[in-house]
Each structure stands twice: as structure tokens, then as C-alpha cells.
Amino acid sequence: MGSTVDLFILKSLKSTSRRHSDDRALWQSMAKGNDLAFSNLYQRFSNLLFNYGMHFCFNRELVKDCIQELFTNIWNRRESLSEVDSVKYYLFKSFRNLLIKHINRDRKLFTDRNEGQELQDSETSVEDYLVSLEYVKENERKITAALSKISNRQREILVLKYFNELSYSEIASLMSITPASAHNLLSKALQCMRVVMKALLLASFLNHF
């Protein structure tokens, strides 16, 4: 049995590392002006970034604008782009900076005060947003509602680790924390999710009576 385990794990390891080197190959080819490599990078990453962005700020249009700006910048500056070790990390880092820039700008426009770099929780707008999504199924809405109950940073790390498989060191440098606190933050996030989910399930169960 031991050998089969190794085989499978090796297999999945291999596929991840290959994906990684494929990303790099595409990136290098894109930097040399291959527009097809560029469009493939967009296909590979746009929805991962979108998912991340939506958990970051719940503003569909803003997230799409940032994706567009990110890819436009990359292509326009392709010749001066440095080599990247992990394309995924680079994209998430640049995308995060763009999101923060846009969110802070919007906030200045509407409230005329600067809240600094970090985001504030905005529960009310999340609820409004969820209600507006009629096509989101009841169950999915519940999960998203649960996610909206945990802190922004907990939600962010959950998306980076669970959906995007970034390493703790990458996450740490992305979120400007230490790898050890990244570990802690993630386990807190998962713990909170479990508590909130149970509460929501119970609530919907009680509603039936």
C-alpha cells in the first residue's frame, strides 16, 4: 500500500510543478511578444483572480476593472518585466495592490476620508450584494454569507490557500505577515467558518418549523 500512496502523491506533485513551469514558459514567451501566450495566461488566471477579488471586496465591477488593468499593464510593460519565480504569486501580488489602490480611491471619492491601507469590514454591503444576486442558489448564498461573517483577512487567506494553493511563505509576504501567523490565521479562519456554518445550518433548520 505504501508504494501506491507515493505514486499518487508524486503524480499530483508532478502535475503542480509542471503547471508551475508551464506558467513560467508562457510568461517568458509573453514577455517576448507572443500574444497567444498572453491570452493563455489570461485564460489560466482571470477567474482565479476574480474569485480572489470577489472575496476581497464583493464589488464585481471593481474586480473586473482591476483584472483588466492588471493584464493591460503586464502587456504594455512586458519588455521591462523582470523574470518571475512564481507567475501566480506575481499576479496575485500585483492584483492585490491594484485592488487596494482602487478601493482606497473609491473610498476617498465617496466618504472623503482616507482609511489607510487596510480594509474595513463592510458587512452591510455584503448582505446587500448577496440579496441582489438572484441567481446565486440558496445554499451557495448561505456559504457566501458564512464567509462574509469571518474577517476580511481570514477570508483572504482561505482563498489564497484553499483555492489557489499558494505556499505559506508566499501568503505571508503577500499579506505582510510572518509565515507562522499565516498558519495561525488560516486555522482561525477554518475554525470560524465551521462555527458560522453550523450556526447557519441550525438557523435554517429551525426556520423549517
Partner 1 sequence: MDNQPADYDNFSLDDFVIDPFFREWVLFSEIIHEEFWSDWKKANPSKINLVEEARDMVLNLEKSKMEMSPEELLSVWDTIQTDIKKPVKTLESSTRKSKFWSYFAAVASVVLVCIGWYWYELPKEIKYQTAFGETKEIMLPDSSTVILNSNSKLTFVNNWEDQRAREIWIEGEAFFSVVHKIDHQPFKVLSSQNVAIEVLGTEFNVYNRSGETEVILNSGLVTLSFPVKEKEGKIVMEPGDLVKFKDNKFQREKVNTSLYTSWKDNILNLEHTSLADMVKMAKDNYGVTIEVQNKEALSLTASGSMPLTNADAFLHQIALIFNVELKKENNKYLIK
Q: Point out which residues bind partner 1 (CB under 8 A).
A: 1, 4-6, 8-10, 12-13, 16-17, 20, 22, 25-26, 28-29, 31-32, 34, 36-37, 39-40, 42, 46-47, 50-51, 54-55, 64, 67-68, 71-72, 75-76, 86, 139-140, 143-144, 146-147, 158, 161-163, 165, 167-169, 186-187, 190, 193-194, 197
Q: How far is CA 207 from CA 141, 143, 201, 203, in A?
A: 16, 17, 10, 6
Our CB check for partner 1 shows the closer of 106 and 140 to be 140
User: How many alpha carbons lie under 13 Å from residue 88 in its C-beta half-sphere?
Assistant: 21
| Minimum CB–partner distance for residue 97 and partner 1 (Å) | 18
Our CB check for partner 1 shows the closer of 12 and 207 to be 12
Our CB check for partner 1 shows the closer of 108 and 198 to be 198
Whole-angstrom distance, CA of residue 121 vs CA of residue 149:
9
For the range 121-128, what are the long-range contacts, defined as Cβ-Cβ under 8 Å and sequence gap of 24 or more? 121/151, 121/152, 122/58, 123/148, 123/149, 125/58, 126/58
| Minimum CB–partner distance for residue 47 and partner 1 (Å) | 5
| Minimum CB–partner distance for residue 143 and partner 1 (Å) | 5
Look-up: residue for cell 500574444?
Answer: 35
What count of residues does the chain have?
209
